[in-house]
Structure 1
Amino acid sequence: METTPARRYGGQSAEERDHGRLLRLRAAALDLFGTHGYQAVSIDRLCSTASVSTRHFYQQFSCKEDLLLDLYGAITAEAYEAVGHSLAATGDDDFRRRLDAAVRAYLRPVLADPRTARIAFVEIVGVSPRVEQQRLDFRATIVALVEDEGGRAVDRGEIAPRDFRFLALALSGAINVVVHDWMRRPRRGSARRLEDQLCALAVHLMTGEAAPV
C-alpha cells in the first residue's frame, strides 16, 4: 500500500519544525532566565520571545521547569564534552597541565556568557527537589571523572595518593560558591582572572602543591 508523504510547510517537515521550536525555546530561556531570573519569567513571555504558541510549548514541555532542566542539561552536556575533549588531547601531558586544561575547558564556555553562568550556578539552585537532583547527578559525574584522573596520575607516579573524592567535592563546592558570588556582584572582575584563580586552586587541591591565586 502506497503511503502519503508527510506534509511540509515552508520546506520543513513536522519534525524539523518541532526541532526549530525547541531551539527557539532554549534560546529564549537562556536569554530570559539568564537575564531576569527563572522565577520572574512566565511561559507566555517565553513563548512570545521564541515566537512559539503556548500549544506548541506544551507539546515540547509539560511545564516551565522542564524547559529549565532541558537547558541545564544542554549546558552541562556541552561542559562535560569539552572536558572530555581536553583530556583526550592532553593524554600524554603531566597531570598538572591536564588538570589545568580540563578545568579551563569546563569553565570557559560557561563564564564566556554571563547568562549561561547565571543559569548554571545561580538559577538552578533551590528550584525543586527534581531540579536539585539533576544538579547533584551532574556533580557526581564530574566528581567521578576527577577521581579517575587522580587515580591515573598516582599510577603514573605523578602525584602521591590522596582522597580524591573529598578533594573533588571540595573543588566542586568552591567553584559553585565562587562563581555564584562572582555572578551576583554588581561589578564583576574579568572572567579570565576568575578562570586563572580557579585553575590554580584546582592544581593546589589535587596535588597539595602551593599555587599562586
Structure 2
Amino acid sequence: MTRSKPAARPDPSPAPAPARRRIRGLDADQRSAQRRSQLLDAATELFATQSFSGTSIEQICQHAFVGTKGFYDHFDSKEACYTALLEQITVQIQQRVAAAADAVADRPLPERIAAVLAEFVHAIADDPRLAKVTFGEAGGISPAVEKQRRGNRRWAAAFLDRQWSPGTPPDRARETLALATIGGMFELVADWLHHHDDGDEPDEVDLLIADLIRFVAVVAAGRTATGG
C-alpha cells in the first residue's frame, strides 16, 4: 500500500517586497521630495524677483524643471505653494534665533537681545530673496496667509517675552507690549527692504541690526521704568 505524501506546509516567512525602482540613485519618495524642493527654490526666486501676483504656476514649473502634474502632486494652488514656502522660511528663522538665544543664555539681557536680533537679520538678509518673500510679499495675499503671518508674529512676541522675563508666568500686559514691539521691528525690516532693494551690502545689514537693537533697547528701558 502506497503512503500519501503529507501536505506541504505553507512557508511562514512573508514574501520579500518588490525592489523599489531607483532613478539616478533615488527612489520614488526621494524623487518626490527633490521635486518639492526644486519647486520651492523656484518659487523663492520668482516671488522675490517678479512678485507673487506676477508669477504663474507654469513659470514656477519651468524654472524648477518640474511638470505641472508634479506641481499639483505637492500643492493645490500657487497660494498653497507660497504658504509652504513661508512656513519653510519661518522654521529656518525660528531655529536660528532659538539657537542664538541658547548660545548666550548666561549673558546680560542687552547682549542676549543684540545676539538674537543680529541672527534674525542675518537669517533673512544673507539671502535677500528671503526678506523679499517674507516681508515684501506676504501682506494681502489671502486670509490664510495673513493668519500664518499673525501666528509668526505671536511666536516672535512670545519668544521676545521669554528673553525679557525668563521663567515668569504669562502676563497679558507684557505679552501685548512684546507683540507691539515685534510689529515695530517687522515694520523697520519692511522699510529697510523698500529702501535697500538689493540688501547685499554688509554696512546696510549692520545698519538694520543697529536700528533694531536701538529700538528694542528703548522699549525695554520704558518697560523697566514703568515696572512692566
Q: Write the letter of the residue equivalent to 1:205.
A: V
Question: Structure 1 residue 143 and structure 2 residue 161: aligned?
Answer: no
> What residue in structure 2 maps to residue 50 of structure 1?
64
Selected match of 1:29 from 35, 43, 46? 43
Moved more, 189-198 or 74-83: 189-198
2:186 is the alignment partner of 1:176: yes
CA positional deviation for 1:80: 0.7
Larger of the two Rg values belongs to structure: 2
Change (3 A) 1:173 1:21: same
- What is the count of residue pairs matched by the alignment? 205
Q: Name the amino acid aligned to 2:129.
A: R
TM-score normalised to structure 1 length: 0.88
User: Which residue of the partner structure matches residue 9 of structure 1?
Assistant: 23
1:130-152 CA-to-partner distances (Å, cap 9, x unmatched) read 00001111111111111222222
Partner of 1:207: 221
Alignment RMSD (CA, Å): 2.3
The Cα offsets for residues 80-111 of structure 1, whole Å up to 9 and x where unpaired, read as: 11111111111110011111111111121202
- TM-score of the pair, normalised by structure 2: 0.83
Aligned-residue identity in percent: 28
Q: How do 1:57-206 residues align onto structure 2 when only pairs under 5 Å count? A: 57-152=71-166, 163-185=173-195, 190-206=204-220
Q: Contact 1:95 / 1:153 at 8 angstroms: preserved in 2?
A: no
Matched with 1:158 is none
Partner of 1:38: 52
* Cα 1:124–1:170 shift into 2, 3 Å: same
Residue aligned with 1:39, SS:
coil
Q: What is the distance in 1 between the residues matched to 2:206 and 2:156?
A: 22
SS of the residue 1:52 aligns to: coil
Uncovered stretches (5+) of structure 1, i.e. residues with no partner: 156-160
Contact 1:100 1:202 in 2 (8 A): no
Please give the secondary structure, in 2, of the residue aligned with 1:12. coil
Unaligned runs of 5+ in 2: 1-14
Letter in 2 for 1:110: I
Distance in 1, matches of 2:134 and 2:188, equals 13
